[in-house]
Chain A
Amino acid sequence: MNRENKQLTQANPFIPEPARIVRAYHLTEDVKFFQVRIVDMEKALSFKYHPGQFAMISVLGAGEAPFSISSTPSRPGLLEFCIRKAGTVTSALFRLKENDLIGFRGPYGNGFPVEKMRDKDILIVVGGLGTAPLRSVLLYCLDNRDQFRKVSLLNGAKRPAEMIFREEFFALKEREDLECYLAVDEDDTGTWTENIGVVTTLFPKLKEVDSSNTYALVCGPPVMYKFVIKEFVNLNIPKDQILMTLERRMKCGVGKCGHCAIDYIYTCLDGPVFTYWDVIHMRELI
């Protein structure tokens, strides 16, 4: 046994890369959009990731937390994040301005299996801030439109003002190569022209679903999963083609700190994207 030889040939995986906030603006009252560029230009341009992966973002003094990457790898150079002010790290991020520096580590996690999803129908169901990870895969599908068959999107928010990227989604409704339906739980403006009701009320609008050739993706508040998955199952979409991305507490992102452990898997290494079969199999997931 010679431990000496096995010594650190790898770089320290906990060192963040400095990144600059290029743009930051409010999407809703408590959700902000951040456009970020890794300071080292070479690294910024060669940075590769999959839709659905996440990054650890840090602000000195406040700490580090995991965030889904909302941009698509098909548009390299800039990384985008939708962040809700919810704790210490996010509060610190909200205080930062354009041009300020943050720490960035990643990408981590498995991401969506876009290779397997090729030549299949894609059905994306979004609730509230669930847009953050699903926007990445949605934009990826649209940028590589010829690689996928039918793309459908159901998006629900509490109120019109809380629909993240509202304008982007309304613009998508105009596209002919995509089915896009929007809903709000309640319309406090009196001007909402789309559906009123929870996101599952949009399912009847879907035209013919070729279930065995469909990948169904969902992300939203914890309460939403049960109801949306029920709809997917009713549509006969195979359990291992129902994909969801999950949130957990993480302190390292690289399978060491233990916080995101479920059974023998680590959400940061083996997730955050899981199939419905994983969920049935492992029970503690949702």
Chain B
Amino acid sequence: MRIIKLKKGNLFPFLEIISEEADLWAPVKKGDKHIFKAVDDFSQIELGTTRTIIPPRKIFLPPTFNMFNVSEKGYNEDFSHITKKILFGIHPCDIHGLLTLDNFYKQAYMDPYYLEARANTLILGLSCWPDEYCFAKSTNTHTIEEGFDLFFTDLKDFFLVWIGSSQGDDLIRLKPELFDESLKDKDIQTYINWQAERDKAYKWDLNFTAMPDLIELKYGDPLWEKLGDACLACGSCTNVCPTCCCYNIMDKQFLGGKDGKIIRHWDACTLEEYSEVAGGENFRKKRSDRLKLWYTHKLQAFISKYGKPSCVGCGRCIVTCPVDINVRTVGKTLLGEEADAFWARLNKEVTK
């Protein structure tokens, strides 16, 4: 893979040029957090973001979109929500999230909506620095070798730019004089040092290899009931997870009854009606059963099927869950580590 250099000051001029090709999406500030948004004013772009509230999945599969316009003539596919986009500032863990979704949406039946959106979006990755919640090193998703068109590693005075695809190369060719093709030994050493420091900056880790067995061994453990008691079944963990992608379908019929739309919107397996069938039978009425499904799916089932967990270590569930149920607390509890503080609080606040 070709690696070139970009001076810090040349980033915005570069973004300026490529944004003429497609809508540029990047992380910007919202309150004290960050979101991915289409940007015109590049000064809004936050290069030092840790994580956005919602993962970039929303750009490919919006919370609600129309799949079909239906008329007497039949079903017309609606791809109108899909536009050409360049997504800048996406971190390695989130790119891994997209690769996980790619695997999922390409197996058995292909999902045209996801794949079409994916084909219309260029990925310009950006390196990041972990905070106290990140654990991408445990999931081995802190580095990235594929899944991007360009990848920018921020080395203070300059970026090292990995060119990951022919489309990425086309972007560079729009104004090659902004880049410097010749890397010096000093630059390479700067990168090596940065990488070592970054790896050391991860503040905690989780043994994911142990998870499949532990979930199996502790399948009947009372810990699930306790977590179920504490869980608010709000679905937030699902909304913020880069690899969650369950959905529901809604028909919208127009007056007269002949025409309508078929709408697809996000769903969450932690919500009560998720597994309910007509007639009222609910296969997962208990919150503990639904939580168990969420964690079994991420930490065990995905490993059996794809050889890696469907957790990418972004830390969003940790910062989002109002009652502190997340991959960290559940994982640590399964391992029998550091569980005391969490359970003490849980016992105090919930099981009174």
Contacts and interface: CB of A to CB of B under 8 A. Distances in A.
B147 to A, nearest CB: 8
B297 A255 contact: no
Interface in B69-123: 70, 74-75, 77, 105-112, 115-116, 118-119
A190 interface: no
Nearest to A3: B119
Given A61-B257, A86-B279, A87-B278, A264 B247 contact: no
Nearest to B274: A259
A15 B276 CA distance: 24
Nearest to B147: A1
Interface stretch (A47-55, A62-70, A141-149, A153-161): A62-70
Given A89-B278, A249-B274, A261-B293, A256 B301 contact: no
Instruction: Give the one of B248, B278, B297 with max A CB within 10 A.
Output: B278
Contact of B253 (A61, A86, A255, A257): A61
A191 interface: no
B249 A64 contact: yes
A18 B70 CA distance: 12
Contacts of A18: 74
A41 interface: no
A25 to B, nearest CB: 21
A88 B300 CA distance: 35
Interface string A248-284: 1101101111110101100001000000000000011
A18 to B, nearest CB: 7
Contact of A3 (B118, B253, B297, B300): B118
B267 A84 contact: no
B245 A13 contact: no
Interface stretch (A4-12, A73-81, A171-179): A4-12
A222 B302 CA distance: 28
Contacts of B115: 6-8
A13 B247 contact: no
A263 B279 contact: no
B234 interface: no
A255 B107 contact: yes
B275 A16 contact: no
A234 interface: no
B109 A255 contact: yes
SS class, residues of chain A in contact with chain B: loop
A254 B113 CA distance: 14
B297 A261 contact: yes
A261 B269 contact: yes
B278 A1 contact: no
A254 B260 CA distance: 23
Contacts of B297: 261, 263-264
B34 to A, nearest CB: 26
Contact of B75 (A16, A84, A256): A16
Interface residues of A, number: 46
A82 to B, nearest CB: 14
A193 interface: no
A1 B123 CA distance: 12
Contacts of A6: 106, 115, 119
B164 A65 contact: no
Contacts of B108: 254-255, 269
Contacts of A46: none
Given A10-B110, A248-B275, A259 B246 contact: yes
Contacts of B12: none
B246 A258 contact: yes
A47 to B, nearest CB: 18
A14 B165 contact: no
A131 interface: no
B28 interface: no
B344 interface: no
Contact of A63 (B119, B147, B166, B251): B251
A16 B74 CA distance: 9
Nearest to A63: B251
A10 B74 contact: no
Contacts of A16: 75
A189 interface: no
A60 B251 contact: yes
Contacts of B269: 258, 261
A254 B109 contact: yes
Contacts of A256: 105, 109, 111, 247
A90 interface: yes
A251 B115 CA distance: 19
Contact of A15 (B68, B248, B260): B68
A261 B107 CA distance: 15
A254 B278 CA distance: 19
A122 B95 CA distance: 51
B146 A87 contact: no
B204 interface: no
B296 interface: yes
Contacts of A86: 277-279
A270 B276 CA distance: 20
A90 B278 contact: yes
Interface of A: 1-4, 6-8, 10, 12-16, 18, 58, 60-65, 84, 86-90, 103, 222, 247-249, 251-252, 254-259, 261, 263-264, 269, 283-284
